[in-house]
Structure 1
Amino acid sequence: MLTWAQFAGLVAAFAWAVLVGFLAYVLIKLARVLDQTTKLLASVEERTAPLLDEMATTVARTNDQLDRVDLITRNVQSVTDNVTGLTGLVTSAVGRPIVRVAAFGYGLRRAIGGGRRAEVQPRVRGEIKAERRGRRKDAA
C-alpha cells in the first residue's frame, strides 16, 4: 500500500503533468496566433507599398499642376497690369481733349446764348404767372 507521502508525490506528479500539458497547449495556440499575425503583417506590407508609391506619384503630379496654375496666375496678373496701363493711357490721350472740347463748347454756348437768355427769361416768367392767375380765376 501507498503511504501518505507517496500518495502526495503521485498527486503532485499528476498535477505537474496536467500543468505541463496545459502550458504546451497554450504555447501551441500562441505560436499559431503569432504565425497568423506574421502572415497578416506581410499581407498588409504587400498591399501598402504600391499604395504609397501611387500616392507619391499623385502628389508629384499635383505639385506639377499647381506650378502650372501658379504660372498662369502670374501671366494673368501681368496681362491685368498691362490692361490697366493701357486704360490709363487711353484715358489721358482721349479723355483730356474731349473734356477740353466739351468745356469750349459749353463756353461758346454761354457766350452765344447769354444775350438771348436775358431777353427770354423774363418773358417766360411773365407768361407762367399770367397762366397761373387765369387758372385761379377759373377755379374761383
Structure 2
Amino acid sequence: MQPGDIAGLIAAGAFLMLVLVLAVPILRLRRTIDAATRAIEEVTARTGPILGNVNSTMENVNVALEQTQVSLDGVNAQLARVDTITSHVQTVSANVANLATVVASAAANPLVKVAAFGYGVRKAAANRRHADDEREVRSALKQRRRGAHSA
C-alpha cells in the first residue's frame, strides 16, 4: 500500500463519520417537517369554512358602507355649515379682543397718570418732612455749639 492509498482510506473514514454524525439531525428534522405538514393540512381544512363566512360578512359590510355613504353626504353638508359659522365666530372674537384692548388702554392711561401723581405727591411730602426734620436738628446743633462757645 502506498501512502496515497492510506490517505484516501483515512479521508473516506472521516467522510463516513461525518455522514453518520449528520444523519441523526437529518432524521429528526424529517419528523419535524412531517409534523409541520400535518399542522398546515389541519389549518387548510379549517380555513375553508372561515373564508366562506368572511365572504358573506364582507358582502354585508359593503351594503352597510353604501348606506353609510348616503348619510355621510348629509353630515358633510352640515360640517361645511359649521365651518362657516366657526369662521364668523372667530372674526367676532378677534374684533371683541381688539375692542377690549382699546378700552383697557383708554381706561388704564388716566389711571396710571393718577397713580403716578399720587406717588409723586407722597414722595414730595416725605422729602419735605425729612428736610424740616433735618433743619430742626441742624439748628439745635448750632445752638448747642453757640452755647458751648459762649460758656
- TM-score, with structure 2 as normaliser: 0.46
- TM-score, with structure 1 as normaliser: 0.49
